[in-house]
Amino acid sequence: MKNVYLLGATGSIGEQTIDIIQEFPEEFNLIAISGYSSLEKIIEIGSKFNLQLIAVKDEADASVIKAVFPDAKIVFGPSGLSDLAVYNKDDKEGILINALVGMVGLKPTIDAIKIDRDILLANKETLVVGGHLIKELLKIHPVKLYPIDSEHNAIWQIIQGEDTNTIKQLIITASGGPFRDLTRDKLKNVTLDEALNHPNWSMGKKITIDSATMMNKGFEIIEAAYLFDIDIDRIKPIIQEDSIIHSMVEYIDNSIVAQMATPDMKLPIIYAMFYPKRVDSVIEPLDFNKISNINFKEVDYKRYPLLQLAIECYKKGGSNRTVLNAANEAAVSLFLNQKISFLDIESIVKSAVDNHKTVIDPSLEEIYEIDQLTKDSIFKRYNK
Ligand code: NAD
Ligand code: MG
């Protein structure tokens, strides 16, 4: 029985993780959760599990939750996320599942690594912004960091038992998002509802918008560079519209191995939770009788400038990834609140990166400072 400490329990990945825990009550014990927005969901989860710690947004929410669960430890704010990540610090079998959205997930991930706690990571922004810090920490802490993102989980499955020195390139598949058939000109008038209507996946709002701009694919390329310690020029995105192939690895003998499954995030979550064991499926099997073809399309970088920008920021190094992510978080939030148009997301992010003076090898404190400054200046300008 493994204890689970779950950041972002009320989100899309968090809820699916809880479903899995409920399906395997002999294997996992949910000990602690965090939730930022929905007190109803937190109360619902708390009524099903015997939670020892609950992390909420602020003091007001904490007092509401304390009244409902007087025996649990209630914490709040960013420090509450860290309290959760290191709760029961001597529990060496326990796992932290990080299903937060945004760079707010970076500090608790670092805190968990420092107490040698294994981590299942959905929160890709952590690696985008702090990949260099995590990489250094993993050299001195015996921590397993397992990816829940479907593409990275696919690559991880594919490279089992292989000599990673024989990898020629990683081929990361992309659905192309809801606007893959529109010209750039047509993107001027797309609505929020259209952007939120992803063709293959049902996900949280922020990652759904990131998929429409393909910033998500840029983030995933950076994520893969850190996770698999591979040169970014050897990571190639390709459009695979149905999301049946979740990624591929090409080896030096020109053999290409793909991982395929019905697009359902429960598979990568469950694979990471049970690794190295495989368990009976909880997802629909692929039915090849219903698939007439699997097609591929080259990615047009001009069509998706944020994908190109993400790769450039990684190559430039230093704090460019911090600014890229911060500006994107701010711009997506403005778009979700209908303060800006879809294409404004690109111009806001690009201008923030263009105007940034790089800090080499930023510390955690510098990252949080640059993040805040970048977001503040964008919100000040557009949030009227
Ligand atoms: P979501 O928006 O559905 O949920 C996010 C969770 O984080 C919620 O519990 C929310 O309350 C919490 N949260 C948000 N802002 C917070 C803050 N400032 N402080 C503390 N908590 C906060 O997001 P999601 O779709 O579940 O995605 C979570 C992460 O997983 C993201 O990094 C995303 O890119 C990644 N991911 C998601 C999917 C998917 O299918 N949803 C697939 C691959 C990767
Ligand atoms: Mg993904």
Tokens representing residue 326 in the block: 């911060």
Cα–Cα distance measured from residue 332 to residue 122, given in angstroms and rounded to the nearest whole number: 19
Give the model's confidence band at 348: pLDDT under 50 very low, under 70 low, under 90 confident, else very high: very high
pLDDT in tens, 108-135: 999 999 999 999 999 999 999 999 999 9
Label the pairing between strands 53-56 and 28-34: parallel
Mean pLDDT on 316-325: 97
Give the model's confidence band at 201: pLDDT under 50 very low, under 70 low, under 90 confident, else very high: confident
> Which CATH architecture group holds 2-147?
3-Layer(aba) Sandwich (3.40)
Q: Determine the distance separating the centroid of ligand 1 and the alpha carbon of 41, expressed in angstroms.
A: 14
Phi then psi for residue 283, to 5 deg, are: -115, 165
Cα–Cα distance measured from residue 306 to residue 208, given in angstroms and rounded to the nearest whole number: 15
Q: Is the CB of 207 under 6 A from ligand 1?
A: yes
DSSP one-letter code for 297: B
Ligand 1 test: best mutation among 5, 13, 205, most atoms within 8 Å of CB? 13
- Where do you find CATH 3.40.50.720 in the chain? 2-147
Q: Is the CB of 101 under 6 A from ligand 1?
A: yes
Label the pairing between strands 245-251 and 167-174: antiparallel
Q: Can you give the pLDDT at residue 282?
A: 84
Ligand 1 test: best mutation among 20, 207, 209, most atoms within 8 Å of CB? 207
Give the model's confidence band at 200: pLDDT under 50 very low, under 70 low, under 90 confident, else very high: confident
Nearest atom within ligand 1 for CA of residue 15: 26
Tokens representing residue 152 in the block: 């990275």
pLDDT in tens, 39-71: 999 999 999 999 999 999 999 999 999 999 999
**Mean pLDDT, the chain, as a whole number?**
97
Is residue 185 helix, strand or coil?
helix
Q: Can you give the pLDDT at residue 311?
A: 98
Q: Which one, of 60, 61, 119, lies nearest residue 85 by Cα?
A: 119
Beta strand spans in the chain (E): 2-7, 28-34, 53-56, 73-76, 95-98, 118-121, 145-147, 167-174, 235-239, 245-251, 256-260
